[in-house]
Amino acid sequence: MKAAVLYGVRDLRLEDVPKPEISDNEVLIRVNACGICGTDIHIYRGEWKTNTPIILGHEFSGVIADVGREVKGLNVGDPVVAEPNIPCGSCYFCRMSERNYFCENLEATGVTVNGAFAEYVKVVASNVYRLPKAYNLDEAALIEPLACCVRGIDQAKIKVGDTVAIIGAGPVGLILLQLALQSGASMVIQTDMEDSRLSLAKDLGADHTINVTKEDPVESIKELTGGYGVDVAIEAVGKPEAITQAMRATRRGGRLVIFGVSPEDAVWKVRPFELYDKELTIKTSYRSPYTFQRAVKIAVSGLVRLKPLISHVFKLDEIHGAFEVAEKRLEGAVKVLVKP
Ligand SMILES: [Zn+2]
Ligand SMILES: [Zn+2]
């Protein structure tokens, strides 16, 4: 099969490799589409370490091409998505209910084991979710980031009527926006550096948008909330400056969710007095523990619109161009999909 194999920093090669061989509890998926995630870009740049050579790609949809002998309830031809995270099931954290993603032996399809920038990917059957035939399979490639956002919105504990600020209007910020509205936010304010992303945020229901290159987001958010700041702020950028903006835009006694993943060596400078004075609740959000099933329901029910987030679709042969567009956010890129 054709696959994009990463050999090292920015060394991505299109190759013919053997089709994955499945074991009794695994499923072979013919890939329909795979999204490029910030994680892929970090690994591609050498900012996050993984074992190479590897086929990246963990945000994928496809159709089942083969099932192992012990697999029940899944059949060849089923349209599916799959959760990438593979906990071991027997370490200290795995035995502590929802903390399974702190697994000491955690593997992940497309991160530590071969993923879906390829014609086929194999996945353990218990990670596979069947979709209705009518659901758009390109859109389905965004169910994985949606599952991570469901965790983030759970951490935000939005109450009906809360005012919410989302810092950043990338794919994840735009999903969090929709989840905040569905959670009963009375007003959602979205910030970003790109007008094109902000106009998409408006289309998806943001009440106010702020271009941080043109106005001070903290001042503007305070103005929009009677001088107090929002009840809940969610940082969806992955930069210390964005966390500071989110913190300052939150009212006294409010909640701050640090959702974006900053580079491993980034440092957040904060005056502890500011946190003391506000008595903030600060939450972080790690992957998608037990949220994938809900993400499938949210997507399939239409509660969240994923299609408008797909800005580019590339063929697997054009994966170098696809990575360039995603990395440099060319042409108003939001979510870039790669299709074999
Ligand atoms: Zn991802
Ligand atoms: Zn474990």
> What's the rounded mean pLDDT across residues 275-297?
95
3-state secondary structure of 169: coil
CA atoms of 23 and 30, how far apart (whole Å): 16
The per-residue DSSP string of 217-255 comes to: HHHHHHHHTTTS-EEEEEE-S-SHHHHHHHHHHEEEEEE
What is the whole-number distance in angstroms between the Cα of residue 44 and the centre of ligand 1? Answer: 13
pTM: 0.96
* Stretch among 39-43, 250-254, 336-340 having the lowest mean pLDDT: 39-43
Q: What backbone torsions phi and psi does residue 246 show, to the nearest 5 degrees?
A: -60, -45
Asked if the model's pLDDT at residue 100 lies above 80, the reply is no
Q: What backbone torsions phi and psi does residue 200 show, to the nearest 5 degrees?
A: -65, -40
Going by C-beta distance under 8 Å and a sequence separation of 6 or more, which residues neighbour residue 89? 100
Give CATH for domain 2-142+306-339.
3.90.180.10
What is the whole-number distance in angstroms between the Cα of residue 322 and the centre of ligand 2? Answer: 34
Domain spanning 149-284: which CATH class is it, in words?
A: alpha beta
Q: Characterize the bridge pairing of strands 335-339 and 26-35.
A: antiparallel
What is the whole-number distance in angstroms between the Cα of residue 257 and the centre of ligand 1? Answer: 18
pLDDT digits (tens, 9 = 90+) for 191-234: 999 999 999 999 999 999 999 999 999 999 999 999 999 999 99
What is the whole-number distance in angstroms between the Cα of residue 106 and the centre of ligand 2? Answer: 6
Domain segments of the chain as ranges: 2-142+306-339, 149-284
